[in-house]
Structure 1
Amino acid sequence: MWFRNLCVYQLADGFHLEPESLEEKLQAGAFHPVGGHDPESRGWVAPLVPGGETLVHASGQRLMICLQTETRVLPPAVVNETAETRASEREDAMGRPLGRRERARLKEEITMELLPRAFTRSKRCYAYFDLQGRWLVVDAASWREAETLVEDLRALLGSLPVRPLQTDSAPNQVMTEWLAHDRFPGDVEPGEEAIFEDPRSEGAEIRCKRQDLRSAEMRAHVKAGKRLRRLSLTWDGRLNLVLDADLSVKRLRATDVVQSDAGDREADSAAERFDADFALMGGELGRLLPRIQGWFA
């Protein structure tokens, strides 16, 4: 199982965690299905599916965990339509219009009435500790989503000294310089996708897909004052990814080179396949993340 998106945190040097201790802490916050009148339930589940029994899946110095969220889906339109019907009935019976507070209470009553019959939707958010590299890597499409996992984890552990990946130089400036002078790091090959933004106009952006990023047309955007916010690239011929100026990674994918190096051995079980993928991904990201720091040192 490979992560698709990355939000990366740096662990404080003094932080240490044993798998057994982490397992015990997570058990206190294990997932329970959402209750009939609850809008959402969140808790920790076994990363290995199917057949996982522990909430921590260890591979050497890397510890995989998974946070599951189950949400009741109750469309506002359904609540509003029912509320309007009930409000009309009450107004007819009372001979007067309902006040704003009465309508608000009516909506609350209807919501509590309909919640037990609402469909549920589940979502899993995976993360792993790399205790040797000093990383917490979260498979999340946004920092906001990643922060939910981090805050839940901190609440159980009592202390979690981490901070989002930081660099000395501004990534958008450095990536723009790469493109402006066609001088990319030796292990970076630009892809065919980029997002430029205009720092002088909030919300102004240009999205490029299937474009030669080394072309004069792309450099013209830089000359016009645009800055790169997002850049697709291939690192070391091994990983394809889209790097954002906030240092999050989108659409991570291993190239055929990685798969070839992994060999053709078929895993005998889901657990073996999970272990193999985890070890392979952890090894590749263990090399990539220090390089990202190096690019923007």
Structure 2
Amino acid sequence: MSHLNDMALFVEVARARSFRKAAEALGMPNSTLSRRISELEKAIGLRLLHRTTRKIELTEAGQLYFERSKRIVDEARLAHEQLGAMLEQPSGVLRVSLPVDLATFYLTPIIGEFARHYPGITFEFDLTPRRVDLVAEPFDLAIRIGKLEDSSLITRLIGRHSRHLYASPGHIEASGEPARPADLAKHECIGMLRSPIWTLHRGANKVDVAVRGRFTLNSVGMIRALAVNHQGIALLPEKIIADDLSSGRLRRILPEWQGSPVNIYAVTETRLIPAKTQRFIEFLSSRLMEV
């Protein structure tokens, strides 16, 4: 890279036929520019310039070196400009594995906004519960929620769910309202599979409650629907039930307490990702970190 930079400096001097004019155009001291060209001549073992007090002329070797250097420098600049344009407006197919509930309740409007910003990108989304193999399958990235398994994959935290307790007015009327977290053990609670313990926080206080209920499942959307239909108390992110809350279909209970936040991650096979993937991750992070 240093040699290419010195080559670019030489091209500017050769074009200007003046160290002073080239130094002014480059925004660097004349003495520094002269020293760099002298070092370049020593490095390649050729005298490139005839220097006099009045003017600079190219030697025969300097003329050949100028023509070669000009072509290389111009190609490098063009490649840099093309890369910059590609980074500004990335294109291609973006293949992403997404959790069904996150995609349905959060990401659809965010992805629509992203698509308007980057019209050159097309999308292929896999909305299944399975953990795709980012090494063996042709995905650019996966969005995952909750605790991640140890692996060699690259993970980046891009968002966080805050969760609260909700129940329908009908359920509260029929079963009563818990007054403290321990009361949840006596109520019908709608839980996630393999998560029988709800950890609740109030400031510095933390309590674990073993919940029970007739329904345990792996769909946040269905947990919400069951709660709306008076089947029990649910621990859910507020944005998922915002419409139900404003319409009165659900009420927040134990409002001083909240559940442990759930992290949202972008997972890639490598840190060396294309611009389309990098922009998508950055865009999601800018929106989901506000959750």
Q: TM-score, normalised by structure 2?
A: 0.21
TM-score, normalised via structure 1 length: 0.21
Q: Say which structure is richer in helix.
A: 2
Q: Which has the larger radius of gyration?
A: 2
